[in-house]
Amino acid sequence: MASASATGKLSREEFRRQKDLDAARKAGTAPAAVDEEGKAINPHIPQYIAQAPWYLDTGAPSLSHQRIPEYDRSSDKLDNWYDRGAKAGPAAKKYRKGACENCGAMTHKKQDCLERPRKKGAKYTNRDIAPDEVIQDVAAGYDAKRDRWNGYDPAEHKRVYEEYAALEAARQKLREEEIDKRTTTDLAAVRKVAKAGKEKGEGRDDDFGSSEDEDEDQDKYAESADAVGQKLDTKTRITVRNLRIREDTAKYLINLDPSSAYYDPKTRSMRDNPLKNVPPEEALFAGDNFLRYSGDAPEVQKLQLFAWNAAARGNDVHMNANPTQGQLLHQKYIQKKEELKDTTKVSILSKYGGEEYLEKAPKELLQGQTEEYVEYSRTGQVVKGKERAKTRSKYLEDVYVNNHTAIWGSWYDPATGSWGYACCHSTVHMSYCTGEDGIKAAQASSAKNLLESAESSTSMPPPPVPSDSAEERKKKAEELFSKKRLGEGELALDRDRLQQALSEERKRKGRGDDDDDRFGKKKKGGLGQSYEVSEEELEAYRMNRRISDDPMANYVDKEL
């Protein structure tokens, strides 16, 4: 079966004969082929298994190329390795022919020598000839040749460990000496203060502190007494917590009920909330799906849902095949949807009304807060951020009329004691602004008035010299500030004239005349003439005056 390739190319007759023999062996009418060990070969084995490759073909039927070759495993030991550095006896005295020209050893040549190249080799100097090495033939097997630690000497690692241990011991000793020095200095200063306090009678009778070793050991061995999950540096006193905290509860231990949220140990995911009755903001773990609905994940889901709905309606939209097209179509869809919504809203409001009920105050007024960042100084001034808005009244401000650039009351004339406009110095309210010409005219008018007043003052007689009498000054003050002059105080009224004034006031009220006809400006018998009101008429007016703010003004007693 497998030896056909060894005889070269078969003729047509030989190939037909070989085919007939194989068919007879499969049918059982011919004996099966036998290998070199005398074992029968199954004729139903495929040809690609039974036929040996050209580099293992022996020319006879065989299946040895399919079996693992056997070799001597006695020599395949992991501890069988070269004896490094072993020398074969003492070194030679003279250079030997065929030896290394550099060191003089017979076991290698100059190009394989591992010693430092000499200026003049041992071949020419016959000095410092190296001894011959021991040449060993180590028959390593498959496992021994691939063992990375084969031939390693553990004593080398022991020396490295001892070196690092010595360095750590020296570092620890130096640290202890520094702590002892600092502690001794501090304790000496404290004891000195305590001793001074004892001499003054301010301290206690016993010695300050119990033991030096107690204070020293507290800092000396602080590093060896670190807490679990922390790293403490005795110099900086900074505690750094490790990333993994053993106090954290695993998500599958939050709820041990088997009917709770499913935990996938392969992906270490628990998509649902293990505690259904606890709100997500109070739960230790709200499920992995809690993160899936945050960020841009909902937007992606909306895009995918839009693509599915559009494809179901016959549109060629696919988020994976053409995501840009899907994004643009989704934006257009949202825009048209908002426009249709606004159109429907406007049509409903125009038909039924009620638009005033949809208006609401700004969010800043409703909530009383804003996102604007403002910093204030100690005096209340704005240091950084938005400037404080100016307080405005209910009246119109900064309204300029009649071509004025300043408001009424922005200028004061000390000569006449009147207010006016700062842009034209006009003291007439609601006048038209004349600008610089008006200012010049006002200055010339004020100068003329000052000149006339100065001339009149020179022609007037000198004022009378005030009297220095205290009684006269007191009498004048009483006349100026008396209650009688101001319309207050005890007044002597004539009863007959008062009764007559009351009857006239009632008649005037009945006719419905206004107050101007009563007191001012008009009077019967003298058109346009005014007269002085008497005290009785004024008292009658006060007694019959109607006060509109009085809550009992319109009260009528129905029982009487």
List per-block mean pLDDT (blocks of 10 residues) for the chain, which spans 560 residues: 56 92 92 89 91 88 86 63 82 92 93 93 92 84 81 85 94 90 71 66 46 50 47 51 65 89 90 86 84 82 92 89 91 93 90 83 71 80 71 76 85 84 86 85 76 62 57 71 55 80 84 60 47 78 71 66
At 526 the three-state DSSP class reads strand
Rounded to 5°, angle at Cα 206 from 202 and 207: 95
CB 3 within 8 A of CB 52: no
Structure tokens that stand for 327 in this block = 């994004």
pLDDT of residue 526: 47
Structure tokens that stand for 460 in this block = 């007037």
Strand pairing report for 408-413 and 382-385: unpaired
> What are the respective helix, strand and coil percentages of the chain, to the nearest 5?
40, 5, 55
CB 16 within 8 A of CB 10: no
Rounded to 5°, angle at Cα 326 from 321 and 331: 170
Rounded to the nearest angstrom, the gap between the alpha carbon of residue 535 and the centroid of all alpha carbons in its chain is: 82
Rounded to the nearest angstrom, the gap between the alpha carbon of residue 339 and the centroid of all alpha carbons in its chain is: 36
pLDDT of residue 81: 77
**CA–CA distance, 158 with 151 (Å, rounded to integer):** 16
In this structure, the number of other CB atoms found within 10 A of the CB of residue 61 comes to 19
For the chain, how big is the Rg over CA atoms in Å?
Answer: 61
Strand pairing report for 239-241 and 230-232: antiparallel
At 240 the three-state DSSP class reads strand
**CA–CA distance, 124 with 134 (Å, rounded to integer):** 25
Alpha-helix residue ranges (DSSP H) falling in 28-153: 47-50, 122-125, 142-145
Instruction: Give me the count of residues in the chain.
Output: 560
pLDDT of residue 187: 66
**CA–CA distance, 43 with 560 (Å, rounded to integer):** 143
CB 541 within 8 A of CB 505: yes
In this structure, the number of other CB atoms found within 10 A of the CB of residue 123 comes to 18
Give Cβ neighbours of residue 359 (< 8 Å, ≥ 6 apart).
Answer: none
CA dihedral for 102, 106, 109, 114, sign (positive or negative)? negative
Q: Of 67, 38, 70, which is closest to residue 50 (Cα–Cα)?
A: 67
Instruction: Enumerate the domain spans of the chain.
Output: 4-66, 92-125, 154-227, 251-342, 393-454, 495-545
Distances (CA, A) of 459 to 183, 234, 451, 453: 102, 102, 13, 10
pLDDT of residue 3: 47
Strand pairing report for 239-241 and 408-413: unpaired
Give Cβ neighbours of residue 216 (< 8 Å, ≥ 6 apart).
Answer: 179, 180, 183
Structure tokens that stand for 349 in this block = 């409001």
Distances (CA, A) of 534 to 355, 504, 511, 538: 62, 13, 22, 6
**CA–CA distance, 503 with 506 (Å, rounded to integer):** 5
Alpha-helix residue ranges (DSSP H) falling in 28-114: 47-50
pLDDT of residue 507: 84
Backbone angles phi, psi at 413, to 5 degrees: -100, 110
Give Cβ neighbours of residue 29 (< 8 Å, ≥ 6 apart).
Answer: none
At 416 the three-state DSSP class reads coil
pLDDT of residue 186: 66
- For residue 203, the one-letter residue type is G
Q: What is the DSSP string of 179-197?
A: HHHHHHHHHHHHHHHHHHH
Q: Of 523, 543, 525, which is closest to residue 533 (Cα–Cα)?
A: 523
**CA–CA distance, 263 with 154 (Å, rounded to integer):** 46
pLDDT of residue 36: 87
Residue bearing tokens 């140990």: 265
CB 61 within 8 A of CB 51: no
pLDDT of residue 544: 78
CB 491 within 8 A of CB 484: yes
Alpha-helix residue ranges (DSSP H) falling in 201-320: 212-220, 289-292, 297-312
Rounded to the nearest angstrom, the gap between the alpha carbon of residue 207 and the centroid of all alpha carbons in its chain is: 55
pLDDT of residue 434: 86
**CA–CA distance, 104 with 115 (Å, rounded to integer):** 11
Q: Is the pTM of this model over 0.75?
A: no
- For residue 170, the one-letter residue type is A
CA dihedral for 378, 383, 384, 387, sign (positive or negative)? positive
CB 502 within 8 A of CB 540: yes
pLDDT of residue 479: 66
**CA–CA distance, 421 with 401 (Å, rounded to integer):** 11
